[in-house]
Chain A
Amino acid sequence: MKKKFVVIFVALLLLFVVPAFLSASKGGEQPKEGITIGFSLWTMEFTFFQNLEKGVRDACEEFGYEYIMIDQNSDPQKMVQDINSLIGQKVDGIVITPVDPGAIGPVVQSARDAGIPVTCADIGKTGPVNALLISNNYHGGELAMEYIAKMMKGKSNNSKKVGVGRVQPQWTYARGRGEGFMAKAKELGYEVASEIVVNPPSAEGGYDTMQQIMSAAPDVVGVFFASGREAVGAANAVKAAGKDIIVVGYNGDPEELQAIEDGVLAATVAQQPWFIGYESVRVMKEILEKGKEYEDAEVPVKVELLTPDNYKKWAAEAEKRRGAPAY
């Protein structure tokens, strides 16, 4: 009995210590010369963020920077601790894709007090950072509405009602998608008959929200879901209900491209996560190497409408750049 316990004890000890040592051999111990970029990322769970991370990593490789990435695990407390630890490691620049943009204020301040420039890759920020690289969300929403209006031309159904599945209000910048969509709807003479925050932000949440929209406004002709998986959920709800409603998504996630291929989703507004990641390091390079001033600058990144006509070409280009299939 006792021996068994000793064995278990030693095994556990080994299991715990070994990963630490294994990773030690991976490097990170090199004497510090050159420039080190620390990257704190929301999560690696979604393709969008994997592509964004690839963009940051590719840029660091291209510019010859040392690269440290810490995953926030979708936890704002961990995010703050991680960024603090990057400050402690005296990195030269910090790139953040924050899970909770409202919660980076104090820690970004202490980074900048320590003379470390900060750029945000996507999502948003509070308080001053050097630069925020983010998709032109408002324009993306406008594109979605324009597409719905275009598709409705010449159709016998002349209802002018549309619906919106909005993103969580704390995603301040992503809210612009819904706002752009609604402004465009008004401009084109459409009425936003139902507008619901998708909760939880998932495919199931999208499905659920779409059902609510269909009961609240049975005669909507088109809906815009301001995030990828949610839009796929919504499109499936429309399909299950056997209705003819145009569903447009946002992101350009693999699930969405698949849904376009399957004819379930009408279109999506694609963001360019790889490019956002790459640009956030390029801006950092300008700050660090050329001494260029960036103070609380917002750098919009282009979005693109993907329809059954052009999504394949877009996906192929994305694949070439990222080295990973877009879907």
Chain B
Amino acid sequence: MGRLNSRGERTGMKEKFASRWDSYGLPLLFIVLLIVFSILAPAFRTSFNLISNFRFTSFIGIGAIGMAFCIMNGDFDISVGSMLSLVAVLGSSLIPVLGGVAGVLITLLAASFLGFVNGVFVTKLRIPAFITTLGMMFIYRALAFIYTNNTPVYISDKFWLFIGNGKVLGIPFAIILMLLCYVGAFVLLRKTPFGRYVIAVGTNREAALLSGINVDRTKIIVFMLVGLFIGIASVVISANLGSANPGMLGQGYEFQVITAVVLGGTVLGGGDGNLWGAFFAAMIITFLKNGLGMKQVGSYWQLVAIGLVLIFAVAMNRIKYMLLGTKEV
């Protein structure tokens, strides 16, 4: 981790602080948040509220996984909010014909396919990811409107609703699903060659290419992963709302997940990242909003608070690098 500073004996301590901040900074921030709001608002610390918040974390938490891969890979996907809306209305509208299980599977497949389309545009046509996904953001949203004639799809299928609202042994299924997604993604990123390719491509595309990595294929798979996790998130969210609304679903969602990923310590521009950081960041955002809401802090002030936490976390990274005596990543 970083370089040693050769100026004196305090270097060891700085090193320690820096590496500890990496591993424990966000969990610590999260715990501080829990303690502060538990003292301030008695209703905050009830198990009902804490579990609900944990469940709501899955809204952004699951979507953030794919985005983390994408950003580590040096790209961006801002079409995810529109994509979420499109696949939710598509999948849920097919429930009466095909049933809930098939509806969910089609949602996941459609989302992966849309990710594939994004990936092909970025790699084969060499259009920058920002432009491609900006265009797709409009197209997917418009298709959702056109497909539904701007009317929400109401969901009453038990299986679909279970994914967002059901419980297994008293634990909300959305929480279990989110944790499974994170474990799966962690294994994929850290224990497989594909995970190393993602990091390699994000660090230095040319070098990756020269060392024989199929850069285009890696990128396309990453965009498909973004799609897959958006598909999962879209089922969870629409189940929670009991409907899929083409205009309302996923508005501003792209910024929520990007915020979680960046707050989680993944550096824009690619190279390396922190999946669990994204997880804790999603927790922090959700619990912070809830706690501030309980204290009757206006919703615009809540956005100010989230902005400040984001800047604070990034500033902490700067301080870390400064302590390590390196200028940048």
Q: Which residues of A come within 8 Å of B, CB atoms?
A: 1-2, 5, 8-9, 12-13, 15-17, 19-21, 23-24, 26, 28, 68-78, 80-82, 84-85, 87-90, 99-100, 102-107, 126-127, 168-170, 197
Contacts and interface: CB of A to CB of B under 8 A. Distances in A.
Given A5-B318, A70-B293, A100-B245, A88 B48 contact: yes
Given A5-B318, A105-B243, A126-B242, A84 B52 contact: yes
Nearest to A21: B40
B43 A16 contact: no
A145 B151 CA distance: 26
Given A68-B296, A77-B237, A169-B151, A9 B315 contact: yes
Given A17-B36, A20-B305, 19 more contacts: A1-B322, A5-B315, A5-B319, A12-B308, A16-B305, A19-B292, A20-B40, A23-B295, A23-B297, A68-B296, A75-B252, A80-B56, A85-B294, A87-B48, A99-B248, A100-B245, A102-B152, A103-B248, A170-B248
A103 B247 CA distance: 12
Interface centre among A69, A82, A103 (most CB of B within 10 A): A103
Closest 7 CB pairs of A and B: A105-B242, A103-B241, A88-B49, A102-B243, A89-B43, A71-B299, A102-B152
B34 interface: no
B243 A69 contact: no
Given A102-B152, A170-B150, A19 B301 contact: yes
Contacts of B296: 23, 26, 28, 68-69
Contact of A100 (B151, B248, B305, B319): B248
A262 B311 CA distance: 47
A20 B243 contact: no
Contacts of B49: 85, 88-89
Nearest to A31: B42
A319 B150 CA distance: 37
A15 B308 CA distance: 8
27 contacts: A9-B312, A16-B305, A16-B308, A16-B309, A20-B36, A20-B40, A20-B292, A23-B295, A24-B295, A71-B298, A78-B289, A82-B293, A85-B52, A85-B293, A85-B294, A88-B48, A89-B294, A102-B245, A103-B152, A105-B243, A106-B164, A106-B165, A106-B240, A106-B242, A126-B154, A126-B242, A126-B243
B204 interface: no
Contacts of A127: 242
Interface string B241-268: 1110101110110000000000000000
Contacts of B154: 102, 105, 126
Interface residues of B, number: 57
A28 B295 contact: yes
Interface string B272-314: 0000000000000010011111111111110011001101100
A176 to B, nearest CB: 15
Interface string B153-172: 01000000100110000000
Given A5-B322, A106-B241, A24 B40 contact: yes
B214 interface: no
Contacts of B322: 1-2, 5
A169 B245 CA distance: 11
Contacts of B41: 28
B152 A70 contact: no
B59 interface: yes
Given A77-B241, A82-B293, A89-B43, A9 B316 contact: yes
Nearest to A114: B48
B297 A19 contact: yes
A190 to B, nearest CB: 26
Nearest to B311: A12
Contact of A85 (B151, B290, B318): B290
Contacts of B192: none
A65 to B, nearest CB: 15
B149 interface: yes
Contacts of B243: 100, 102-103, 105, 126
A84 B52 CA distance: 8
B326 interface: no
Interface centre among B48, B53, B242, B319 (most CB of A within 10 A): B242
B278 to A, nearest CB: 18
